[in-house]
Amino acid sequence: MLIWNSPWEGRAVPPQLYSYRTVFRERRDALVAETVSYATNQRSDSVVNVAGGRANWQDSNGAEVSVAPGETGELVGTATSSTANLSIQFKPRR
């Protein structure tokens, strides 16, 4: 389940490899992921595609992000770029 209009913290292990804040917002007829890289402060918006129980979007550095709900409410999946394929986890920011 996505929580809209609230930030999610996305991290890999170690977090230096992938560290983002993502906020999901509805804009007109689309769900948009607003991402901010903690490492570079680079920001971007990307349309989220939801299919087959997974959410997919592109982060602010161009990686393809694909996540699905985990057992305890987190989002788990991968961030794939031309140089890396990382296991990531998003948790609602509290």
b/e for 38-66, b at 16 or more Cβ within 10 A? eeeeeeeebebeeeeeebbbbbbeebebb
Q: pLDDT tens for residues 14-62?
A: 777 788 999 999 988 899 999 999 889 999 999 999 999 999 999 988 9
Read off the pLDDT of each residue in 76-86 and give the average, rounded to a whole number.
Answer: 91
What residues does each domain of the chain span?
7-92
pLDDT of residue 16: 73
Looking at the domain that runs over 7-92, which CATH code has it been given?
A: 2.40.128
